[in-house]
Amino acid sequence: MSRVQPSPLNRSGFLGVGSFLMVVLSAALLASTTMWAERDFQKVLQVFFVDVEGGQATLFVTPAHQSLLIDTGWPGNDGRDADRIVAAAKKAGISEIDYVLITHFHNDHVGGLPQLVARIPVETVIDHGDNRESTDAPTVQVWQAYQQLLTENKFKRLTVKPGDKLPVKGVEATVISSDGLVIDHALAGAGQENAVCKGGESYAADQTENRRSLGTLITFGKLRILDLGDLTRDKEMELVCPNNKLGAMDIYIVSHHGWYQSGSPAFLNAIAPRVAIMDNGAKKGGTPSAWDIIEKSPRLQDLWQLHFSEEGGPGHNVAPEFIANPEGPDAANYLQLTAWPDGSFEIFNSRTSKTKQYSAQH
């Protein structure tokens, strides 16, 4: 899995080689580079995968200059995660966040919200409804902090259910799952039988907030991006068995940081992503069994990781150029997706400063 292409600037290095073949190859590469460089960067969808050490914080900025942040990372650490999100917002050229979507009320997802709203204005927060997990102390604590922010009118609140469209301009965002319910019909173009369901996978019902995750499909022209928060395998089965309600994805934001409780074989076979991006931490997520299922999914070109996974070790991590934060002290490197409506996209690794391009496949 080491197929990162050189950046366009590096490609001109081929010109110094004298052989006829290399000249022809160089010309072809330069031609494709020019075409790529001529793309309209005013009409792109930008997505920043912020490193919050095994929580989630994914910032979408649409060509209509609207912003949607999915989750806010952890509480504490002097606002470390909120600072990293604000840094990404700055890079994206925005000074307020229109929508923050909280997938569920676990502290690695909603924990950073009080620190975030202290640093940058947030217009509306979207959620699945009230917290349902009253037995877990950290969850109760972040839920109370959330209610406090609501009392202080820090933002508007919008609660959504499966099938709803989010009011974000510049993309189409459809709610797939919310509060333990999932869409009851196949999306347009989907609905085919899923052969892997015949293996008889079945999973006990999760009892936590994870299964209540607010999941969305974000469509930008021909590009399809799936984010289901920490939705667990029992709920995945309702989405993809016996028929695949979702259809194939271009980009899969790996559920649950790549932990084994999510990402079943039937689910990965159904969504068959071209690219998967895993928001794992060094010591959280990236379970070898879940990593294997993603790597074996039918159309996968590349898996990217926000961190080297210690649990994965040498056998279950991608090649270094696909990892934002390798072993060692954390430097908060991020991954950035830039996408065009024709379905083409590129991914930038802030650590290596290299970009890999993916052409449209429709």
Q: Record the tokens describing residue 190, joined without a space.
A: 């989907």
227 interacts with Zn ion by CB under 5 A: no
User: How distant, in Å, are the alpha carbons of 76, 207, 214, 337 from that of 211?
Assistant: 25, 7, 9, 27
Q: Any contact of residue 53 with Zn ion (CB under 5 A)? A: no
Chain centroid to CA 295 = 16
Residue 243 DSSP class: B
Q: Could you tell me the smallest distance in angstroms from the CB atom of residue 99 to Zn ion?
A: 20
Work out how close the CB of 210 gets to Zn ion at its nearest, in angstroms, rounded to a whole number.
7
For Zn ion, which residue of 81, 98, 108, 127 counts as binding (CB under 5 A)? 108
| Least distance to Zn ion, CB of residue 308, Å | 18
| Whole-angstrom distance, CA of residue 250 vs CA of residue 301 | 10
Tokens 């347009």 correspond to 188
Q: Which stretch binds Zn ion (CB under 5 A): 106-114, 148-156, 168-176, 341-349?
A: 106-114
Minimum distance from CB of 108 to Zn ion (Å)?
Answer: 4
Distance of CA 76 to the CA centre of its chain: 23
Which is closer to Zn ion, CB of 231 or CB of 271?
A: 231
CA dihedral 272, 257, 149, 89 (to 10 degrees): -70
Q: Which is nearer to Zn ion, 107 or 264 (CB)?
A: 107
Considering only the stretches 34-42, 151-159, 173-181, 226-234, report the one whose residues sit in contact with Zn ion under the rule CB under 5 A: 226-234
Nearer to Zn ion, 108 or 250 (CB): 108
**What is the DSSP secondary-structure string of 138-197?**
HHHHHHHHHHHHHHTT-SEEEE--TT-B---TTSEEEEEEETTEE-SSPPTT---B-GGG
Q: Which stretch binds Zn ion (CB under 5 A): 26-34, 107-115, 123-131, 317-325?
A: 107-115
**Rounded CA separation 133/127 (Å):** 15
For residues 109 and 356, which CB has a smaller minimum distance to Zn ion in the complex? 109
Site string for Zn ion, 174-203 (x = CB under 5 A): ------------------------------
What are the residues whose beta carbons fall under 8 Å from the beta carbon of 301, sequence distance 6 or more? Answer: 3, 274, 275, 358
- Give the residue, chosen from 53, 206, 209, 230, that forms a contact with Zn ion under the rule CB under 5 A: 230
| Joined tokens for residue 8 | 């366009």
Compute how many residues bind Zn ion; rule: CB under 5 A.
2
CB closer to Zn ion out of 63 and 180: 180
Q: Are 128 and 179 in contact (CB under 8 A)?
A: yes
Least CB distance to Zn ion at residue 71 (A)? 8
Determine, following the binding rule CB under 5 A, whether residue 209 of this chain makes contact with Zn ion: no
Interface residues with Zn ion (CB under 5 A) are 108, 230
